[in-house]
Copies of this chain bind each other. A is one copy, B any other.
């Protein structure tokens, strides 16, 4: 077990230095490599496979809710970006500019898309004619670029991978319903597949997307109590439609402007998975998106009968789950540590004694609990055990959030809690920007959202004492 110990020692303990632990996992589990392109990472096969599994699940959800995939250019002419005032102000300072194509200097320089509202609007103006064309429900899988100053793998990098949905609707009501529908799709993705509990709510005006009338969000809490904005859904009203001259002939034959939404999730979700579920041994992956759901480790694999049985099992399991047979000549202990680092939800151990007893050992990644399973029952026992792991890590994450969610009704309480605890602080709020800014200055907290599930903590805003309009989740965020 000495090599196993060496491998485990190589990660910083999670509660000693969470940031370093995170970086260690990204590299040791071979999710990413740093690239020579400053601020950009390389998604290595294991990291990419996680993202690929997320995209496969979400793409199906998007198609089931009537969305079609398209591909837009990666460039936005500067003149096009400038058409919507708030939008350009929000994004222009952080884009990469292409000024030369081949040997020629461009007249209208191009930015690499930081998000594609402007491109979609330009296209919509071309193709939309009649109310019969509506709704238009499009999605795009691509990477986007934002020139961030400080970067971290998955959480914030100059290039990241995502999907961005863009839809047009005949009425404001339909567009608002779409915004809500997609937020629920994202919440389902997180809670039912990634096993990450989220709080659904609305962003304050300060935190909303540049150019949106309203931004809705799902907020997840990481192991260390910090919040991670994990998906957003924006309602634009008809503001972009006016700016880009998107019109259609309505049912009454008058020209009308459509109502618009956009929404996105990104490779940030991989960061959320790491920071929600991981532990001192490494990654813990939700079964739905794990590149391998089960790793088979043969014990005493030099015995031909053991390898033969392991291969037979791998072939059987491959029919209903993603399985890796580790047939390398490393020791079982080394293999245990390696696949724990990589977060494989279940380990299947099979040795000579097990074969004699027509059984194997299933070991849960999340708590190392072992169960003996009759080999004839694997087709039912293994999926059931995967589900046990999934539910357990969800409950653990939920428990962490509950333990780290606090209420406060005075600024003193807020400041004390913010300095002593990491987590959400719930307070009432008057709705004024001044109070939101004061929460940042005095307690170091940003508003995470105004949750859909409201509570009444007190009657007044703890900042100014004016009547409260809403309850807000505050926190420190990635």
Chain A residues close to B by CB (< 8 Å): 33, 35-37, 40-45, 48-49, 51-52, 68-77, 80, 93-103, 110, 112, 119, 122-123, 126-127, 138, 142-143, 145, 147, 158-159, 161
Return chain B residues, CB-CB under 8 Å to A101: 95-97, 147, 158
Q: Given A70-B42, A70-B43, A119-B35, A100 and B93 touching (CB < 8 A)? A: no
Of A71, A95, A103, which is in contact with the most chain B CB atoms at under 10 Å from its CB? A71
CA distance A161 to B142 in the complex (A): 11
A439 to chain B, nearest CB (A): 28
Return chain B residues, CB-CB under 8 Å to A43: 70-71
| 5 nearest A-B pairs in the assembled complex, by CB-CB distance | A45-B68, A40-B73, A102-B147, A43-B71, A101-B147
Of A73, A99, A103, A122, which is in contact with the most chain B CB atoms at under 10 Å from its CB? A73
Does B42 contact A74, Cβ atoms closer than 8 Å? no
Does A42 contact B161, Cβ atoms closer than 8 Å? no
A459 to chain B, nearest CB (A): 44
Does A69 contact B97, Cβ atoms closer than 8 Å? no
Does A69 contact B42, Cβ atoms closer than 8 Å? no
Return chain B residues, CB-CB under 8 Å to A45: 68-70, 138
Q: Given A77-B36, A122-B35, A123-B33, A161 and B71 touching (CB < 8 A)? A: yes
Return chain B residues, CB-CB under 8 Å to A69: 45, 48-49, 52
CA distance A41 to B100 in the complex (A): 19
CA distance A122 to B96 in the complex (A): 22
Of chain B, the residue at the smallest CB distance from A110 is B37
Q: Given A33-B127, A123-B35, A123-B42, A98 and B112 touching (CB < 8 A)? A: yes
A301 to chain B, nearest CB (A): 17
Residue pairs across A and B with Cβ atoms less than 8 A apart, 17 shown, are: A33-B123, A33-B126, A33-B127, A36-B80, A36-B122, A37-B76, A42-B70, A43-B70, A44-B70, A48-B69, A52-B69, A73-B159, A74-B74, A74-B145, A93-B103, A98-B112, A99-B99
